A and B are shown apart, each in its own frame.
Chain A
């Protein structure tokens, strides 16, 4: 009998012994007592930071009715904004206007206003590594103009703009940079950040009174160290995406090799490799672009379905890609920003050389030769030989 009692005593003692281990674990908090932050926008007002939190209003979303915010009038989110000396402290000040505790663990996007980005983003990132509330998987983007404005644009397709931005980023490039990536890049002298850049756009102008605003993600913000030095658009952006291998289902519009009009090619498979080549005094960076694409549109009077026609198309495609990459690299050298990561490529391939040149890498980079090798194939031209609805004798 005493044996049983001793056992009970031992078990209870074990239970009790577990309580001291609980220090700091006593954080029971019901789900209706937290404010779920889905996105943060940071802007600068004078010397002060304005932090804007986008907080989900689950009650408005009403889980049973399903996705698709619709135009019910009331928004699914709440923007809470305040100004303080540091971005984190602005968050604390924003907390004072809310009845629920700010919870950052579900933040999808962290949007940096253009002005802040030009002044340097390192100051924003410190709290991300220091405060365990933050998730390092949050996507980081730059907004053209003010970040809070962009974050407040309603997307009819998603419940909240933050989610829409995240999905757009996932469509825009292969690996949208997260906070963790940005931090790694900042530590590494061999690479500079290159963040997707969002702006406000008109979605349609059908209804003049009620123009539909939308968040457009079509630019790349290029940094030198932690400062924004340029926003790339158009062919420049294409070149950056192609050079860094970040392009996702890259769409290329090339003029038809003969005749008038354009061809539209999509690259579902594309990869870019950086290959540093060391010559006596100089370094040559070779960018090898590899992949194969599909012609999805032939808007010209060019007849592709001949062996020499196919060669011409491939030639045109390779030229276009090489041009874009060369243009982008020229621009980067001009900005002295190694956003593609040539330095990192050297570090990986030739660590000793890298340690020798990392000190003055920016100089080396601006002097380095760049060679672009494209090995792109066009594999699929579609089954209708001639452009649809055109007689063959009209073609060239």
Chain B
């Protein structure tokens, strides 16, 4: 068994090496898998990497003609896997046959109805003599079928929701995709709630997710290239883009990066994100993730690509700009006045979330002359009995707030309520009354907390939370001077960032006039005629003209 695994791994190394001689072959294989258009697990990846041909060609262990030998070999590889079912039976008036499948992930009712029953009772008795392939293609009424030649292919097929059919006397088998089992159904996404807009969210099931996209974009140009990553997890990854809109270079680069991944498990899209992003050391997210199919569809239509990973409802989008992270899908659904007001509110509160605590510390410890006198007196009155310096006070409150927030996420819902009440009472009320912290600090920390929740993308909100502490320390050390220096460094860093070759601040730096339609203001749809700047391939228009409002008769 160990020997088998080593071989397996070795094979994967050679497959995934994009710089090796087989680099071109790699992408070619992917294309092949895709153009087959079927959901044939492991086919594209398995065959493409080694060049071409079948599993035998790249050193896979071939199946034996003897059914008993094959059963023993598979039983050996899959020993102690109690969820694998082996079913020996005799095809009607004919040869011995074997069904192998994984219980739970295969739809058993379907298997019984369309596979076992016809083979046992209804097939032409002579069929079995024509070979496994014939038996499968003529005796089984299931749609997704493919030929299996090697043991590796057989094992992989069984583990990824296929039913394997082996017939005695033939060194080949057939695998039928009968995906079943229970997974979460399509539900409203919890992490991105909207007032107006579709309520459906992605699920853990990759094919449901791709279907959700296909529902929205009914065009053959919507391409979904499939990859398999993870030595153990064999996780399906799909790179979706719209051919003709997405920049080919960027899509090619995304393919290259995904192919270059070597990892033994992929449990969430976050694994992939960290492996393909441009600047892993930056606090800023360089890929957006979302649970909402409409968001993904919108981004695809603006020329970006999406990466869907099986087993997680979070789909990644790239390349992105920081402006995109400050936009919510509702911005495009609500009428543009309110969209703009809310967008500005969000910009304002993003700044508050980043700067307010630091500004307070700077002003209170360095520049009390900047406050209006009456406000200064109020702050001074509140701070009169506080034993800590402003920095310590602010850190106490900020850290407790972060802890409170973390506790609120982790705790079960029933206890969460208690924690928030306790937090509000203890941290808010009692601490102020006991003179441990001052009321202005509590106000600022809660305002900052509220502000950080207005940022629609959690990944950017986290970044701002981290940077807030940097700002606080800069302010505590150098006052406003420190804040300015930290801001300059922050902006320099952001100018330096890019996501798949697209500058992070595209639209503003580098400035692009046409992008102003959707950065600080969201123009009405009748005016939104240009492709965004992340789309670098050409300067074409999004559309010649969306219908102008003026063409409608008003009476």
**Is A31 an interface position by the 8 A CB rule?**
yes
CB-based contact B481/A103 at 8 Å: no
Within the complex, what minimum Cβ distance (angstroms) separates B497 from chain A?
Answer: 14
**Is A28 an interface position by the 8 A CB rule?**
yes
CB-based contact B368/A159 at 8 Å: no
Within the complex, what minimum Cβ distance (angstroms) separates A98 from chain B?
Answer: 15
CB neighbours of A38 from chain B (8 A)? 373
CB neighbours of A34 from chain B (8 A)? 368
Known: A31-B368, A58-B384, A63-B382. A159 touches B390 (CB 8 A): no
CB-based contact A22/B481 at 8 Å: yes
**Is B226 an interface position by the 8 A CB rule?**
no
**Is A18 an interface position by the 8 A CB rule?**
yes
Known: A56-B377, A64-B439. A105 touches B390 (CB 8 A): no
Within the complex, what minimum Cβ distance (angstroms) separates A56 from chain B?
Answer: 6
CB-based contact A29/B365 at 8 Å: yes
CB-based contact B377/A105 at 8 Å: no
CB neighbours of A22 from chain B (8 A)? 478, 481
CB neighbours of A36 from chain B (8 A)? 368, 373, 376-377, 380
Within the complex, what minimum Cβ distance (angstroms) separates B492 from chain A?
Answer: 10
CB-based contact A61/B377 at 8 Å: yes
CB neighbours of B366 from chain A (8 A)? 27-29
Measured in the bound complex, the distance between the Cα atoms of B448 and A78 in whole Å is 36
Measured in the bound complex, the distance between the Cα atoms of B481 and A256 in whole Å is 65
Known: A38-B373, A58-B380, A63-B381. A31 touches B481 (CB 8 A): no
Across the interface, name the chain B residue whose C-beta is closest to A25. B481
| Cβ-defined partner of A32 (8 Å) among B376, B386, B479, B485 | B386
CB-based contact A32/B373 at 8 Å: no
**Is A308 an interface position by the 8 A CB rule?**
no
Measured in the bound complex, the distance between the Cα atoms of B373 and A30 in whole Å is 16
Contact with A along B384-409 (1 / 0, CB 8 A): 11100110000000000000000000
Across the interface, name the chain A residue whose C-beta is closest to B373. A106
CB-based contact A103/B385 at 8 Å: no
Across the interface, name the chain A residue whose C-beta is closest to B393. A30
CB neighbours of A31 from chain B (8 A)? 364-365, 368, 376, 379-380, 383, 390
Measured in the bound complex, the distance between the Cα atoms of B368 and A106 in whole Å is 9
CB neighbours of B553 from chain A (8 A)? none
Measured in the bound complex, the distance between the Cα atoms of B374 and A163 in whole Å is 9
CB neighbours of B369 from chain A (8 A)? 103, 105-106, 135
Contact with B along A302-327 (1 / 0, CB 8 A): 00000000000000000000000000
List residues 2-30 of chain A with CB under 8 A from any CB of chain B: 18, 22, 25, 27-30
**Is B378 an interface position by the 8 A CB rule?**
yes
Instruction: Give the residue among A27, A29, A32, A56 with the most B Cβ atoms within 10 A.
Output: A32
**Is A59 an interface position by the 8 A CB rule?**
yes
Across the interface, name the chain A residue whose C-beta is closest to B379. A31
Across the interface, name the chain A residue whose C-beta is closest to B389. A30
List residues 241-256 of chain A with CB under 8 A from any CB of chain B: none
CB neighbours of A30 from chain B (8 A)? 364-365, 383, 389-390
CB-based contact B368/A103 at 8 Å: yes
List residues 116-168 of chain A with CB under 8 A from any CB of chain B: 135, 159, 163
Within the complex, what minimum Cβ distance (angstroms) separates B9 from chain A?
Answer: 27
CB neighbours of B380 from chain A (8 A)? 31-32, 36, 56, 58
Measured in the bound complex, the distance between the Cα atoms of B116 and A376 in whole Å is 109
| Cβ-defined partner of A159 (8 Å) among B377, B384, B385 | B377
Across the interface, name the chain A residue whose C-beta is closest to B372. A106
Across the interface, name the chain B residue whose C-beta is closest to A61. B381
CB-based contact A108/B373 at 8 Å: yes
Measured in the bound complex, the distance between the Cα atoms of B379 and A30 in whole Å is 11
CB-based contact A105/B368 at 8 Å: yes
Contact with B along A59-71 (1 / 0, CB 8 A): 1011110000000
Within the complex, what minimum Cβ distance (angstroms) separates A176 from chain B?
Answer: 16
CB neighbours of B377 from chain A (8 A)? 36, 56, 58, 61, 63, 159
CB neighbours of A58 from chain B (8 A)? 377-378, 380-381, 383-384
Within the complex, what minimum Cβ distance (angstroms) separates A61 from chain B?
Answer: 5
Contact with A along B200-240 (1 / 0, CB 8 A): 00000000000000000000000000000000000000000
CB neighbours of B389 from chain A (8 A)? 30
CB-based contact A32/B384 at 8 Å: yes
CB-based contact A32/B383 at 8 Å: yes
| Cβ-defined partner of A63 (8 Å) among B378, B386, B476, B478 | B378
Measured in the bound complex, the distance between the Cα atoms of B389 and A56 in whole Å is 20
CB neighbours of A59 from chain B (8 A)? 381, 384-385
Across the interface, name the chain A residue whose C-beta is closest to B368. A31
Measured in the bound complex, the distance between the Cα atoms of B387 and A32 in whole Å is 10
Within the complex, what minimum Cβ distance (angstroms) separates A283 from chain B?
Answer: 44
Measured in the bound complex, the distance between the Cα atoms of B476 and A26 in whole Å is 11
CB neighbours of B374 from chain A (8 A)? 163
Measured in the bound complex, the distance between the Cα atoms of B379 and A34 in whole Å is 13
Across the interface, name the chain A residue whose C-beta is closest to B378. A63
Measured in the bound complex, the distance between the Cα atoms of B373 and A28 in whole Å is 19
Measured in the bound complex, the distance between the Cα atoms of B388 and A31 in whole Å is 11
Measured in the bound complex, the distance between the Cα atoms of B376 and A135 in whole Å is 16
List residues 140-179 of chain B with CB under 8 A from any CB of chain A: none
Contact with B along A32-62 (1 / 0, CB 8 A): 1010101000000000000000001011011
Instruction: Give the residue among B365, B376, B380, B478 with the most A Cβ atoms within 10 A.
Output: B380
Contact with A along B329-345 (1 / 0, CB 8 A): 00000000000000000
CB neighbours of A27 from chain B (8 A)? 366
CB neighbours of A135 from chain B (8 A)? 369
Across the interface, name the chain B residue whose C-beta is closest to A67. B374
Within the complex, what minimum Cβ distance (angstroms) separates A139 from chain B?
Answer: 12
CB-based contact B365/A28 at 8 Å: yes
CB neighbours of B479 from chain A (8 A)? 25, 28
Within the complex, what minimum Cβ distance (angstroms) separates A103 from chain B?
Answer: 7
CB neighbours of A108 from chain B (8 A)? 373
Chosen A-B contacts, 5 in total, with CB atoms closer than 8 Å, are A31-B383, A32-B384, A58-B383, A61-B377, A135-B369
Q: Which 5 A-B pairs have the closest CB atoms?
A: A105-B369, A58-B380, A58-B381, A63-B381, A63-B378
User: Beyond A28-B365, A30-B389, A32-B383: 13 further Cβ-contacts under 8 Å?
Assistant: A22-B478, A25-B478, A28-B366, A30-B364, A36-B376, A38-B373, A58-B378, A58-B381, A58-B384, A61-B378, A103-B368, A106-B369, A163-B374
